[in-house]
């Protein structure tokens, strides 16, 4: 399969923050909206493993965000506003816009650490405002809402909380490094070399500052150097930028390793983004390419959110490794649509390998590996996705689960788990019998390979034709797989380097499984 990636000409994308008209609370916060009506889009009765903590999206004057991994935040606004709040370790963010004709509002925020110095940023890392909370951890200020804004609050550098593992890093730079299209690349020459003809900043040292990209079509060449944070803020930050390439960079110990907000046609490739809260975070962007990155040992590895609409979504994730994360490996959350995930490895994560949540529809998952997680692939309130050629094995709780998700097509996947499938919706688990090599080497495409399918293949075409449909011991409530894949095996003997061994014939394709898949 060939993909054509076009970075495009310089984008002139006006910065605006669009908060979705409906509210998705995900059961982790409460809101008192002006209408007094309940949020009809709020999923209810979900187990903890289905929740996405730390988010609240609503309209009103009083907001409470609770049960979080960081601070439980309460916010009051003197005017009705649309707001999305997020609380993650060492960082609170707020998308805010007017829900009336008001152009300013008085904001009272509670739940921050008492008597603590913070920095408040609006839209980007330029012009921060430093403030100190009162004895109750409160902060009051006047917010412009004549247009939408992104506000993020983080501890003042050098004053992060005591549970930070690197609270006293020596930082030779006073603040953020800004890279832009001018004769010096902005601050690029402080940390590396600037090629004005290619708009490339190449690092020549490891640094403990963060970086903000301030122009379109910039290339940040990490040259395998490392950005090390203080467990707060964002390592590399792009806001409303396009055509940017970030490559060969190591990023660790930030709230977000690499964050693109309203970014389009950017390329993130060959980066190592470990030990952050979120590794790679694409928020409200579109047509970005994330390829060949290692995103391990974060909370969530790769996290995409709010990618709906014609200009958003349609991101491509290829051959990334998202392993050993405390949450999930790859997350498409809250109306993240029309993305392609191809050849990614999302294994050994504490939660899910790949998680599609809350109207993450019309995505394609092709040839990914999601093994040795709590759950392999989980779909929650997400429909019209295609899952094909994925390997999902040895997950402790389930191979694949579809919770209140409909009209998904799942075929030619390899499932070998104690509980292979759980599905309470109406989904399709096979296509019609079609000529083509399947995931276990057979000659026909149909359904999926299931380790616990107990039926037989009477006509020896490699497709099960008894005990149908396969429904994973009742795990698939409506229908199931009518064409499960079966290995057709015969035994032969051969010799390699003087050693006798048995060769299993999987539908005529002979492989030495213990000798690097060399074929005789």
Whole-number pLDDT of residue 84: 87
**pTM for the whole thing?**
0.82
Question: What residues in the chain have per-residue pLDDT under 70?
Answer: 1-53, 69, 158-174, 309, 311, 489-520
Whole-number pLDDT of residue 509: 38
For residues 58-79, b (16+ Cβ closer than 10 Å) or e, as one string? bbbbebbbbebebbebbbbbeb
If DSSP codes are grouped into helix, strand and coil, which group holds residue 49? helix
Q: Tens digits of per-residue pLDDT, 134-159?
A: 999 999 999 999 999 999 999 887 54
**Which residues 6+ apart lie within 8 Å of 366 measured at CB?**
340, 341, 342, 343, 386, 388, 389, 390
Which residues make beta-bridge pairs with 501?
494
In angstroms, rounded to a whole number, what is the distance separating the alpha carbons of residues 201 and 409? 44
> What phi and psi, each to the nearest 5 degrees, are found at residue 122?
-120, 115
Which residues make beta-bridge pairs with 91?
88
Whole-number pLDDT of residue 170: 35
Cβ–Cβ < 8 Å for 221, 190 = no
Cβ–Cβ < 8 Å for 3, 316 = yes
Whole-number pLDDT of residue 306: 85
Q: Tens digits of per-residue pLDDT, 124-139?
A: 999 999 999 999 999 9
Instruction: Give the number of C-alpha atoms closer than 13 A to the C-alpha of residue 343, restricted to the C-beta side.
Output: 8
Whole-number pLDDT of residue 309: 66
In angstroms, rounded to a whole number, what is the distance separating the alpha carbons of residues 78 and 103? 11
In angstroms, rounded to a whole number, what is the distance separating the alpha carbons of residues 244 and 234? 17
């Amino acid at each position: 399969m060939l993909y054509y990636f076009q970075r495009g000409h310089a984008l002139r994308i006006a910065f605006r923050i669009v908060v979705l008209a409906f509210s998705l609370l995900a059961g982790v916060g409460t809101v008192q909206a002006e209408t007094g009506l309940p949020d009809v889009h709020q999923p209810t009765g979900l187990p903890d493993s289905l929740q996405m903590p730390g988010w609240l999206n609503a309209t009103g004057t009083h907001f409470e965000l609770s049960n979080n991994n960081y601070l439980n935040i309460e916010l009051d606004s003197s005017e009705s506003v649309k707001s999305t709040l997020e609380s993650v370790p060492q960082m609170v963010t707020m998308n805010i816009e007017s829900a009336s004709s008001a152009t300013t509002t008085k904001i009272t925020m509670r739940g921050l650490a008492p008597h603590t110095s913070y920095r408040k940023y609006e839209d980007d890392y330029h012009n921060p405002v430093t403030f100190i909370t009162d004895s109750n951890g409160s902060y009051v200020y006047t917010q412009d809402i004549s247009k939408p804004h992104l506000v993020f609050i983080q501890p003042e550098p050098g004053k992060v909380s005591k549970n930070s593992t690197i609270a006293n890093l020596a930082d030779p730079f006073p603040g953020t490094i800004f890279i832009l299209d001018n004769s010096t690349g902005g601050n690029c020459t402080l940390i590396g070399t600037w090629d004005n003809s290619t708009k490339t900043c190449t690092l020549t040292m490891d640094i403990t500052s963060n970086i903000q990209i301030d122009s379109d079509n910039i290339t940040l060449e990490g040259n395998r150097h490392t950005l090390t944070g203080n467990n707060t803020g964002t390592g590399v930050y792009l806001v409303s930028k396009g055509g940017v390439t970030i490559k060969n960079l190591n990023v660790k110990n930030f709230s977000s390793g690499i964050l693109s907000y309203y970014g389009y046609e950017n390329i993130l490739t060959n980066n190592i983004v470990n030990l952050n809260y979120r590794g790679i975070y694409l928020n409200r962007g579109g047509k970005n390419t994330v390829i060949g990155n290692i995103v391990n040992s974060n909370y969530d590895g790769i996290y995409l959110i709010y990618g709906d609409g014609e200009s958003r979504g349609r991101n491509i994730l290829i051959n990334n490794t998202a392993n050993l994360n405390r949450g999930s490996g790859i997350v498409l959350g809250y109306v993240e649509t029309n993305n392609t995930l191809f050849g990614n490895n999302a294994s050994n994560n504490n939660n899910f390998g790949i998680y599609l949540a809350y109207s993450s529809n019309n995505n394609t998952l092709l040839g990914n590996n999601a093994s040795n997680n709590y759950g392999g692939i989980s779909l929650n309130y997400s429909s019209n996705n295609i899952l094909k050629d994925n390997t999902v094995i040895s997950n402790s709780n389930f191979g694949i689960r579809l919770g209140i998700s409909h009209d998904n097509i799942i075929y030619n996947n390899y499932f070998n788990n104690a509980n292979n499938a759980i599905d309470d919706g109406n989904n399709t688990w096979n296509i019609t019998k079609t000529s083509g090599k399947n995931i276990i080497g057979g000659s026909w495409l149909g359904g999926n390979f299931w380790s616990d399918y107990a039926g037989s293949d009477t006509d020896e075409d490699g497709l099960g034709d008894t005990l149908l449909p396969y429904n994973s011991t009742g795990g698939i409530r409506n229908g199931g797989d009518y064409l499960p894949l079966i290995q057709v095996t015969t035994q032969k003997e051969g010799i390699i380097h003087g050693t006798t061994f048995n060769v299993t014939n999987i539908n005529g394709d002979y492989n030495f499984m213990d000798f690097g898949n060399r074929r005789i």
